[in-house]
Amino acid sequence: MNEKSLEFTTLPAPEPFCNVSALDRPMNPAVIEDIVWHRTHMVVFVSADCSLRPVLYSGERKLVRPLREGVVEGFNEPVPLGQMAFKINIANGENRNLLPSGVWQFDALPDLSQLGVSPKVMAKLEDLNRSFYFGLTEMYAVRFVVPQEDLLPPRLEIQVEYFKRNAKPKARPSAKRLAFDSINVLYRFFRTFAKKNGKRVLLMSENNEDMMGNLAAINQRIKERGLDSRFEMDYSFCNFFKPEERADIASRIRVIRKMALADFIFVEDYTPILNAISFPADVEVVQVWHAGYGFKLVGFGRFGIEGSPNPYTAGHRKYTHALVGNEHLKEIYSEVFGVPESCLLPTGMPRLEHFLDEELRAEAMDEFERRFPQAKGKHVVLFAPTYRGGDQASAHYNFNQLDFGKLAEFCNDSNSVILFKMHRFIKDRVPIPAQFANTLIDAGGGDINKLFYGTDVLVTDYSSCFYDFLLLRRPVVFFPYDLDYYAATRGIHRPVEEMAPGAVCMNMQELVSKLTELVERPETQQLPAMLIDRNIESDRLASDRVIDYLLLSDKSALD
């Protein structure tokens, strides 16, 4: 078969390689350096030698589609030195059909070794996606994805789908749709008979078993002001869709009833049950989101990325208001929640309103010294990264990136200890070797903010925890060792290198060097306005702004 005919042919994938999982197939030394579209032609630039035979490989179909060497007629970009160009016309395939639907990975013959992918390509994945409309009702979509499997180096796939609009759908509704409809019917039934006096307040969370953070601060302030006698307060801390909760039908019905009776519903963090309910106009749904500012994308900031919310049913769109730390963060969280900026209230974070109080700091330091006697008289570094993985069930951290020996050596040389505070989704304990137990310490669970008072330097990555820590005016170091991969798979709001209020270290050597410098000569950077919480202002507590604006309808509360 000559080279020209390969341009339009899918072939059986070579055995035995097509029967081997991606985890067990080798990585090819060739790297995809860039991809450019020219009409329906995809042009792929690869750093490789002249023997490379790249293909698109479908594991599901056990097929390969060879890419043809060269560029497209009329394509004016030169091929960079040391690279080769390959092309494929996705609209012209076997039997003059489109490239078949499914997942296709960039591999190479003869052994289906996997091509690497450059940071440049990972940074432009969204720009590479294509939707090809034809006729009045049909669409062909090509989406680029870096698989979320960090046991391998980053690699590239395309997800190809054909869509046709059905004007008269006859498919039976899914079990999820039936469950959502049932929840909504129950909500409307209970709401019909509810006493609608504008005085019923529900504080709820589906992620925590008790009250904490912004919810706790608002609740405490309501009681301090005696407003719990004026408003009927109720609480719900039940993960509605958690498997073990499903058998308890009565508890789930109680949650729906509590929501239906409430005129104000305050939620913290993602609340899945909101996806199922259509709220009437007289109900306020307020998100008191825990994060001040972080780098990782959440909500509609991830739209188009695997795991992003449904634009038609997502609970984020149900918020009538949401809290943000300052005026400058309204644009970001408008994107995250998919709501107008006018719904964002720049109150500051209620949980931070007493953060700098001397009495609170003294109590927290007493507790810190009792918990960590090894830290007495030493510099304290707090290592607090976010999790990797698509959700709570798959959350993990790649501890292989940490050289515990080097970190222990740093501690011994600088009279320091390192506390490890992992994200609460991560179930695995930090694998600290026993010989380093006096200097490298797993801080376990609990409130991270209480650890900040005893911390000299914070190390994090894409987490929002630095937002709170900066109120203490102490240095932060960022350790995003997987920046390109994380940006491609999870997504980030802003370039970490440009926005991080502290040093950015990409490997262990850089991290240890920077920590050595900072424990001896602490320094902090000038903070951009979006990173300064409004609690720095002393004229009004953040929780008072929330209570006055929402519960008491005092629209001057945000002035």
**Percent of the chain's residues with pLDDT above 90:** 52
pLDDT of residue 394: 82
The average pLDDT across 359-375 equals 93
Lowest mean pLDDT among 191-195, 293-297, 302-306, 327-331: 302-306
pLDDT of residue 395: 87
The average pLDDT across 150-154 equals 74
Question: Tens digit of pLDDT for each residue in 389-424?
Answer: 877 778 899 999 999 999 999 999 999 999 999 998
Rounded to two decimals, the pTM is: 0.76
The average pLDDT across 204-220 equals 89
In this structure, what are the phi and psi dihedrals at residue 87, rounded to the nearest 5 degrees?
A: -140, 155
Question: Tens digit of pLDDT for each residue in 435-451?
Answer: 999 999 999 878 898 99
Residues 105 and 229 both lie in one domain: no
Residues 117 and 227 both lie in one domain: no
The answer to whether position 426 is within a domain reads: yes
Say if residue 370's pLDDT is above 90.
Answer: yes
What DSSP state is assigned to residue 550? I
Q: Which residue has the tokens 């005085």?
A: 199
Distance, C-alpha 198 to centroid of its chain: 35
The average pLDDT across 2-16 equals 65
The answer to whether position 475 is within a domain reads: yes
Residues 484 and 398 both lie in one domain: yes
Count the domains in the chain.
3
Residues 333 and 389 both lie in one domain: no
The answer to whether position 169 is within a domain reads: no
Cβ neighbours of residue 437 closer than 8 Å, sequence gap 6 or more: none
Residues 367 and 335 both lie in one domain: no
pLDDT of residue 228: 95
Between the ranges 167-171, 217-221, 334-338, where is the mean pLDDT highest?
Answer: 217-221
Q: What is the CATH classification number for the domain harbouring 247?
A: 3.40.50.11820
Say if residue 47's pLDDT is above 70.
Answer: yes
pLDDT of residue 317: 87
In this structure, what are the phi and psi dihedrals at residue 523, rounded to the nearest 5 degrees?
A: -150, 150
User: What's the pLDDT band for 2 if we cut at 50, 70, 90?
Assistant: very low
Query: Is the pLDDT higher at 3 or at 12?
Result: 12
Residues 345 and 363 both lie in one domain: no
User: What's the pLDDT band for 212 if we cut at 50, 70, 90?
Assistant: confident
Choose one of 139, 164, 189: the last residue of a domain: 164
Query: Prior bond to 110 cis, omega within 30?
Result: yes
Question: Tens digit of pLDDT for each residue in 239-288?
Answer: 887 766 555 788 889 999 999 999 999 998 889 899 999 999 999 999 99
Residues 549 and 505 both lie in one domain: no
Q: Would you list the DSSP string of 325-354? A: SSGGGHHHHHHHHTS-GGGEEE---GGGTT
Question: What SS3 state is found at 437?
Answer: coil
pLDDT of residue 297: 80
Enclosing domain of residue 431: 358-528
pLDDT of residue 94: 58
User: What's the pLDDT band for 6 if we cut at 50, 70, 90?
Assistant: very low
The average pLDDT across 302-325 equals 81
The answer to whether position 536 is within a domain reads: no
The answer to whether position 535 is within a domain reads: no
Cα–Cα nearest to 414, from 502, 515, 505, 504 = 515
- CA–CA gap between residue 107 and residue 437 (Å, rounded): 44
pLDDT of residue 310: 72
Residues 228 and 347 both lie in one domain: yes
Say if residue 211's pLDDT is above 80.
Answer: yes
Q: What is the CATH classification number for the domain harbouring 424?
A: 3.40.50.12580
Residues 332 and 388 both lie in one domain: no
Lowest mean pLDDT among 343-357, 454-468, 517-531: 517-531
Say if residue 7's pLDDT is above 60.
Answer: no
Residues 249 and 312 both lie in one domain: yes
The H or E element containing residue 223 is helix 213-224
Residues 38 and 80 both lie in one domain: yes
- CA–CA gap between residue 389 and residue 486 (Å, rounded): 10
pLDDT of residue 173: 66
User: What's the pLDDT band for 95 if we cut at 50, 70, 90?
Assistant: low
Residues 467 and 377 both lie in one domain: yes
